[in-house]
Amino acid sequence: MKLPPTRNHRQLAAWINEHKLVDSKGRPVIARVERVRTNTDSRVAGTRFRRVGKGREGLRLEIWPVGASMFKPTLAPSECLFSHTSSETYRKHSEAREWVETNLRRSR
């Protein structure tokens, strides 16, 4: 499946929800995006101290099967099909796009 150009997780999630995609088992999926703040603290070598970082803001894209308990992820975290946080070090939006292209398809 070929995706249209998207620049961030919000655009990708909107496209997934609009086109009603399904996973490899044929279950319909829903995408959800939320703002997150990622910790950028680092450890000082040879000590027990840490160097405080200023943090990084980003978006977390989660893809869930429809009907899963996505609003209580502590109860069933294994139901989430895919999760990608853009503010983590070396993470790119293209990783999420590649996963969607290979693992989701349009419903018939």
Q: Does 102 map to a domain? A: no
Q: Quick one: tokens of 107?
A: 């419903």
- Residue 4 forms part of a structural domain: no
Position 79 scores a pLDDT of 84
Query: What's residue 96's pLDDT?
Result: 96
Specify if 61 maps to a domain. yes
Q: Is residue 3 one of the residues assigned to a domain? A: no
Residues 3-35 have pLDDT tens digits of 999 999 999 999 999 999 999 999 999 999 999
Q: Which residues contact 84 (CB under 8 A, 6 or more apart)?
A: 9, 60, 61, 91, 95, 96, 99
Task: Give mean pLDDT, residues 54-64.
Answer: 94
Residue 54 is assigned to a structural domain of this protein: yes
CA-CA distances (angstroms) from residue 91 to 17, 83, 107? 23, 12, 29
Percent with pLDDT over 70 in the chain:
92
43: in domain: yes
- Would you say residue 103 lies in a domain? no
**What would the two tokens of residue 92 be?**
């790119």
Structural domain tally of the chain? Answer: 1
Residue 14 domain-assigned?
Answer: yes
Expressed as residue numbers, the domain containing 74 is 9-93
